[in-house]
Amino acid sequence: MVLAVTGIDGLEGAELERAVAEYGQSLTPHLLGVASGLLSGWAVSAGEDVRAIGDLARHVLRALLSFTGRDDPEGVRALLAHLRADALAHS
C-alpha cells in the first residue's frame, strides 16, 4: 500500500531499486511492520467478538484513509482498487 501511495510501485529498473533501497532505510517500514503485527495480534485475539472485529476494521479503514486524505474520494477508490488487484494477484 505504501509503495502505491508513494508511487514507488510505478517505477522500473534502477529507479525502482534506488527508491526501494532509500525507503527501506527510513523508519517508516519498521513502524508499519510493528503496526501490522499489532493489528494481526488484535485480529487473532478478537476471535468471534463482533464488536472487537468492527473496531479493528474501523481502525484499518482509518489507516487507509490517512494515506489518501478524506476529501479525495478518487484517491480512496484508486488505493482500494490497487489493494484489491494486488491481493487477487497474490492469492
78 alpha-carbon distance from chain centroid:
13
Mean pLDDT of 3-10: 80
Residues near 43 by beta carbon (within 8 Å), at least 6 away in sequence: 53, 56
Q: What is the pLDDT of residues 24-35, one digit of tens each?
A: 888 888 888 888
Backbone angles phi, psi at 3, to 5 degrees: -65, -35
Residues near 2 by beta carbon (within 8 Å), at least 6 away in sequence: 8, 23, 28, 29, 32, 67
Q: What is the pLDDT of residues 47-75, one digit of tens each?
A: 889 999 888 888 888 877 777 766 778 87
